[in-house]
Structure 1
Amino acid sequence: MKILEWKIYGFGKWNDQSMELSTTQVNLLTGPNEAGKSTLYQFILFMLFGMNPKQRERYLPKSGGAMGGRLVIETETEGVVSIERIHDRHNGRAVCRMETGEEYGEEWLGELLGAADRHVYQSIFSFNSEDLLSLEEVTGENLGELLLNIGLTGSDEIYQTEKWLEKMTEDRFKPKGRKPIINEQLQRLETLDRERRAAEMEEKDYRRFLEEEKRTREELDYLDQAWQENLNRLYRAQQLIKARPVLLQYHQTKEEAEGKDKNLPFPVSGRERYQQLRESLLPLESEQRMLESRIEELREEQAELLDKVDEDMGGLAPSVLAEKEGYERLSHEQEQLEERRLSLNESVNRDLKNMDVPVGVEELDEYTLPFYIEETWRDLHAESQMVEQEERRIEEQWTEMSRTFDRVEVRKAEIEEERISRDQRDRYEKQIEAAYESAAASNPDRQGRTTKDQLYKRRTVGAGAAVGFVLFIGILIASGAGNGWFYLLLLGLAAISGSAAFMSHKRIRILAVSAANKLPISPHGLEEARRQMKREEKLQAEWEHLHQQWKRLSQEEIRLEEKRSHLSQRKNRLDAGIDEQKSLYPFLTSLQLAYWEKLYHLLTRARDKKLELNQTVKRMEENREQLLLSEERLKAFHHQMNWEFNSKDVQRGWQRLSDWIHEQERIDERRQQLEQSILGMKEKAKTCLDRMKVYQDKKYELFSMAGVDKEEDFLLKSKEKEEAEDLHARLYELGQRVEGMLSDEEQQEYAVWSMVPDESFLHATVEKFQAEKEQLEAKKKDTQKLLVETTSKLQSLERSGRRSETAHRFQTEKDRLQEQVKEWAKYQMALQFLRKTKQAYKDGYLPRVMDAAERYFHKLTKGKYGEIFLSEGTEVIQVRDGDGVVYNPEELSRGTRDQLYVSFRLALAETMADSFQLPFLVDDAFVHFDKDRLDTMLQILEDISLRNQVLLFSWRSDLSVHFRSAHTIELTS
């Protein structure tokens, strides 16, 4: 596979860039640091193998646009294939297009590349200075192991599989381990075996202990029953002692309640109801007294306000005050107009000052600025710029034409000096013609085709081809950058002409050599004559081409003179237009043409401000007349009211009038409020009396139900009723407490409702039951101890019945151990097979890599080191020099170690050539090579380029001289 070209849409610093590569030469991409070499290196890897989204974000274009590109490759099986990847399209997956127009995806590209993924590619066909730098971190045996692993690189799956198999076997068994599965299973089997043997020794006296346990349990049940009965009696006696104070209160309260009648005639909740009525009547009575007092106060205030009302002037004042708002509005407007007048006047003067043109404020009204003047001034400015540009362009063309004239004249003079004289040219022609005639005479079979005219015709054809080639070069030089298709056409014609000239020259040379053998002139002299004539023909063709170019330049000189004349006429017309405008607007004389259009806008804005200023002054005069009329009416009202009026403080007069009117309105409003308040309070007083009557009726109704007429009798009877109810409620509460403390059985046994039990009798009963309880508990404790001993012996014997269960568990765990051993054996066999396969791979494949690496290393070191081999046992890479001294890699110099590393990479690529035909990428990997090493390395790369395409990225711009033939691409930072 070889890369023909690439097109970068956007990748890192690269944006919209295309490059074509050579398939037979080393492609040398040079440029200084930060020129983008490493970015191109990553672009190729991205196009072939892709990147994940996070990696792609690092190379998003710095100047925006799509991230991606197109890579055109040539393969032996599929021909030319175009690979396109775009970051935000198809999730960065490749789209492959064939020459036939068919499209394929990422999977097809993977099949095309075969087993080569990114890791394989970078391990075999790509290395850079960072790879050599990372090699510095590996020394001694690690370096040999690293290079050995490179030889086995195709994927890291073999390494991962080997590590996984080792982990699986070690997780299952280690000879001296305890954690692995099989080790733990062996320990478990040993424990079960000990338990099984112990269980077989414990099967005795089981029946006897069962009978003894039964008797002991029956005796313990009897003791529990007797203990519980005794405990109940003790609890009842103790509860009665606790309840005795409550029983005593109950019987005392019962005696008091028997002398009270709880059925006296009295309303239900009578006292509370009477109290609520009293609380409701008190605020109503207080409110009634307060309303009567407030009505009297309002009548007095109403009489005082009536003396302050002036009904005569009250009708005139509002009409005068109605003009206040208009007066204030006009005054405020007058102030704003004055500020606006001053601002406009200052702005107009400032604008005229900033314009710096001889125009006064009063002259603004004199000059008319119609709408078309702006366009006229703009056209004059544009025409002035175009005239200046045209004049500058003509001068540049004239200067360039003069330089070209000089070059043509100098070259024509050089050609005249280089050409041979006429006599020498005639002598050379005669020698060549004589040689052709002699050659034709000595070959009768070709006499018809080698006459003098035919030989002259062939020579003319050759000369014509040479002239065509020279014309082609001249056209390219004269025309500069042109159409690409036109160049391709000229290139094809030049190739045809050159081919014809070459074939004609070849046939002429054969005839000339043949004829030279029969002439007095030597073959060397004939060859010199032919060379001089060929050189003369080329010089003649070049001279004619220069002469034609000289004629074209003369015609160009005439055209430039015509352009100069036309430009002079345009300048005259432009000056006339400018003078006309200056005569109409004299102030333009002091201003450059480029600023006329801007001055038009400034003058227009200044004239608009002047017009607004005139209108503002007129409006101020009208407002002043209206203000004087309003002041006269206000002054007349003040005289009628005998108030002092100051014409300099009119606002104070308006305020005094407004305050007087507001005071009259407030008095009138207050009189109305007082009238409404009096009516409202009278209505409230009536409502209050009605509400009081309702409560008084309810109070007399309560007196009637209690059978009394006065409040004192009602309260006394209420107290007697409450005392009787409290005693009966207390008696009921104590009875409930007794029932809660004593059960029905205890109440009947001790007859608590008829009398209070004797306290000394109760204490004696408690002591008796307590002694019986202690005796029963001692017997229970001895019996329980005997039961525990018997039960323990039974449980010990029952374990002997688990012997079969223990044996079953032992066999189950043993079977499980066998399965685990089988599984461990499978992993162990797989691991041994993988290691044998790796060893077989090394034995059969690695020697080829070692031989190739030895050959490259020998060549790179100029034969100083002749052998590379692996040490026995450790398989560490070692080298032997010409004197037989063996070195480890860390004993070599930095440059020699780099050569050793590069030798292995080249050897690996050569060995893998049958499986992979991919481009070889090298990124500044030879920074530690001296000149001799570098020359040898570049020759090796040039040899590799015949088999694999080579792309060499370097900051050195002088590397191209070290190659026999290289395709150089210069990158700029």
Structure 2
Amino acid sequence: MSRLKFINATIYGFGKWVDYSIDFTDELAIIYGENESGKSTIQRFILFMFFGLPPKQRAYYQPKQSGKMGGRLTVYDAEIGRYTIERQDAVSNGAAICYTEDGEEHDQTWLQERLSGMTLQTYQSIFSFSAIDLGLIKEMKQEDLSDILLSIGLTGSNTIHKLEKKLDSRMLELFRPTGKNPPINKQMEALDNRLDSLRSFQENEDTYRDKKIAINRLIEQVDQLQFSLQEEKAIQNRIEKQQQALPILNEYHQYTSSLASYPVELVFPEEGIERLEKLKEGLLPLQSQLSVLQDSESQYKLKLQYLKQERSEDACKEAEEILKEKESGLDSYKALNNSEAAMNKIEAQLEAEINRLNLGMSRKELEYITFPFHVEKKWLELKNNANQINAEKQQLELEEKQLKQERNYLLNQLQTLEEERLSEEQLQEYNRTINDFKENDLLQRLHSDANRKQQEWQRTKKKKTKSMNNLLVICVGLAFLAMMTAVFTDRVLFMYIMVAFLLFGSLQWGFRKYTMKEMERMMVGAEYSKAGGHQSEREKADAEHQLAAHYNNLREIETIEGKMKDNEINRLKLADAKQSLEDKKSRIHSLIANEYEIYPFLKQVEITYWPDLYHSLKHLLNLLKDYQQEEEKRSQLSSNLTEFESVVDSFFTKNNWEMNANYSFKNKLEILESFVGNELEIAGQINQYLGLLNDNYKKQQETKQKAKTYEKEIGILFQIADVETEDAYYKKAKQCNEKAEIEYLIKRTINQLQMIFTKQEWKQYVESNVDAPKLEVEYNETKKKIKHIEHEIDVSREELAAIQASIALMESSQSYSDSLYHFEMEKELLNKLAKEWSILKIAKELLVDTKRDYRDKYLPKVIEKTSIFFQELTGNTYCRVYAPNEDKPFQVELESGIRFSIDELSQGTIDQLYVALRLATSLILSEDHRLPFIIDDAFVHFDSVRTKRMMRILESIATEQQVIVFTCKTEVVESSKASTMIPLSNI
């Protein structure tokens, strides 16, 4: 799984939260709220978004102020980017719907794949812990730690530990070596009882066996009789079938004799009558259609002759040539009107613009004005330079005022800071106070350590003194025994032994006594006396505050002096800038005077408006130029239009058309268009009738061809039927139908026979000519045989029943077979229970091996990481953490090498050790699962210093993995500058 990070959450409704949004953008987010503010509900909402909830738990979080339960959680995945998870109680039973940035929609299976199968229990065990979990570490042993590592690493809960206990419990439930109640013990006892019962029935085994053999013989005899009975019944059934089929056989013979009266071969087209009728139906419409087409041809020819007489083709062509120039002539007419209108408009604009400028110039004077290409740029530069000079002047005046105000402010501030500086005597006094406090604090710690070591030495001294005295007493006793032995045995060797024991006991006692005195002297010499003076922590904090304020004043004085120097430099620069501005102003005035000489009208306009004036004058000159162009265009259009009108008048005269004096140019063109349209319409009608004649001819040919096809098909039908007339054709059709009917009846009788007999049997019966009396005799004989066999079967069955009744008395509830059956059942049950116990035993051994391997792999890494975190949390007070074993709990080690068990630590230090262990375990076991950490008020027993250290560790973890802290303590929020606080608003 790649790294995953929360971006934001939107709660539609969940518990007390309705329409609420939270931003998780930062890597370390602290969610702050008082008790009962809804922190746990938000934490549960995050888990609901990832893993869902059962219906009963969703009902618990159903909001009371809204009917909508659910929300959205947006996360960032390093592999696929950002996607949003949405769950609603009323949609798909709370199933997740995921939306990626490419617009695709995915289901809950896709989300589980992205989480690599992570479950709710796994997440809570690896990435989440709270203050409730802090007390678990005190009772933790090596085996418990191994269980926790294995459980967290593999299943995410204490399931593995529970499974091992469950296996042990189940194995004891099944079997105990000295027990009686477990199932396997009970089953072994029951099996022994069954075995004893079986032995009591073995005496009657021979009689039982003989009767069993007789039963088998009778059963075989009954089976043989049953077989003979089935054969005779089969013969009886065959005779009954023959009797049943006799009427059908008679009909078959009758139909075959009728079929023999028809010719063997009767040739007639398939569906011949229907085909002939269909061809006749198709031929009749074609004959009628051909008659209609011939009448239409005559009418088209008469209409075409009339239209050709009405047409005037030459005049139409000449009129069309004239109308080709119509659009051009009308365009010229419109253009002429437009040109005159444009000239009037331009002339009015010229007069209006000249009056608006009010420069005292006439239209004639405007024609002599010319502007070189660089005039616009020159006027614009003069305007900009003039405006810039004014702006710079105002800016310099403003800067001069600001510099004066800044200098006065800095002088006042410098004077105030000089007054607040501490004297040398005050500095020495405050430093002395801080040093005295540190010295006292160090001496107090050393004194406390010496007292603790003194107490440990007193306990050790008592043990060693007791051991020393005991050894001396033993040596004296042994010496006394050696002396008594030497007296009674009169052997010098035992006297030497006595002296050796006395010498060894005295030497060890004296040496240990001397060692203990030296240690006592060292302990007394190691005591630390308290310093003469004693400073309180408040005095030390006040001194540090005063010194910090003093050094801040010194730094501020240096800063202000630097600013004073910068102010003086800026004032000198300002004087130079004012002189430069005056020089620039003189040059601009010279250039403006030069423009007045070239264009005198500029004296009436301020320089700020010169660029606008340029554009206005340029516009006037363009209007004047446009007016001249329009005047030339109007003259050309008038000439072209006069020439075209003369051509039209000439056409009217040539064709003797009436020309009314009121006719306009457009009226004449409309008359020409009407004439050409009429001629074109006549030509279109002629072409239409020519086309109709052509289509009529084609249709006549097609109709004749289709009629020939039908006539040919009818002739083919007569040829197949071998007839020449239609009556003969219908007669032959009737004969073929009668023959087909007889053949159908023959087939029907054959099918009826095949339903009763096989193909070979019914053909045999047709050829054999079986009669009814013979069949009746055979049927009666078979009936007698069947009755005899049934009687023999009844006799055998009565004998079999008698023997079976005798055996039934032996096979009662206490019979041998029943006991044997129950013995086998009890044996099978014992095997089943033993197999289950073996499986549990193997599973237990595999689980123990797995725990051991997993512990050996991960436990050193976890303890090493825990030591690093714990050392940082305790400010290097403790440098190493040792894992618990069977005899000892967790131990921690000082830099001096002294170890302490967890029971000897304060509650705050124990909590720090647990938090360090949980963080280390989660980091080691989540190298492939970079999901955000969720910590819920796990720092309740931390002081402010250790809280800051804890937050520094979380800040370092947050660079690789997002961390979210839920807390009700303001100290946690204030201890981290790299985090973002998310306050929970009250609802």
Give the alignment's TM-score, normalised by structure 2.
0.48
Give the alignment's TM-score, normalised by structure 1.
0.49
